Amino acid sequence: MITTTHHFVQVTGEDFTVNGEKIVFRGFGLGSWMNLEHFMIGLPGTDTMIKKAFDEVYGKERSTVFFDRFLMEFVDEKDFEFLKKIGVNHLRLPFNYKYFIDDQNPHVYKNDGFKYLDHIVSLCEKYEIYAILDLHSVPGGQNPDWHCDTSSGLPLFWEYGALRDTVIGLWGEIAKYYKDQPWIAAYDIVNEPSMVTDAEVFNEFYRKVIAEIRKYDQKHIIFIEGNAFTTDFSMIDPIDDPQVAYEFHFYPFVGEPAVLTHEMDRSRRQEIFAEEFHRLITIRKKYKRPIWCGELGLVFEKEDIDFQMTIIEDMLDLCEQNDVSWALWTYKDAATMGIVYPRAETPWRQLTDAIRGVWNQHKEQEKGEALVDYMAETYFKPISIEQRYPLQFRMRTIMQVICVEQNLRPFLQKLSWEEIYELPTSFHWDQCEHWSELAELIGKYTKA
Per-residue pLDDT at 4: 56
3-state DSSP assignment of residue 227:
helix
- The answer to whether the Cα torsion of 384, 390, 391, 393 is positive or negative is positive
DSSP 292: E
Per-residue pLDDT at 382: 86
pLDDT digits (tens, 9 = 90+) for 373-407: 999 889 998 888 888 899 999 999 999 999 999 99
295 in catalytic set: yes
pLDDT digits (tens, 9 = 90+) for 316-335: 999 999 999 999 999 999 99
Distance (Å, whole) CA 424 – CA 354: 17
Output Rg (C-alpha) for the chain, integer angstroms.
21
Domain ranges of the chain: 9-342+431-446
440 in catalytic set: no
**9-342+431-446: which CATH topology?**
TIM Barrel (3.20.20)
Per-residue pLDDT at 3: 47
pLDDT tens for the chain, 448 residues long, are 334 566 899 999 999 999 999 999 999 999 999 999 999 999 999 999 999 999 999 999 999 999 999 999 999 999 999 999 999 999 999 999 999 999 999 889 999 999 999 999 999 999 999 999 999 999 999 999 999 999 999 999 999 999 999 999 999 999 999 999 999 999 999 999 999 999 999 999 999 999 999 999 999 999 999 999 999 999 999 999 999 999 999 999 999 999 999 999 999 999 999 999 999 999 999 999 999 999 999 999 999 999 999 999 999 999 999 999 999 999 999 999 999 999 999 999 999 999 999 998 877 778 888 999 999 889 998 888 888 899 999 999 999 999 999 999 999 999 999 999 999 999 999 999 999 999 999 999 999 7
Under 8 Å between Cβ of 83 and 22: no
Distance (Å, whole) CA 329 – CA 433: 17
Distance (Å, whole) CA 280 – CA 249: 9
Candidate list 225, 247, 276, 295, residue with the active-site label: 295
32-45 burial: b if 16+ Cβ within 10 Å, else e: bbbbbbbbbbbbbb
Distance (Å, whole) CA 18 – CA 283: 22
Candidate list 192, 212, 225, 276, residue with the active-site label: 192
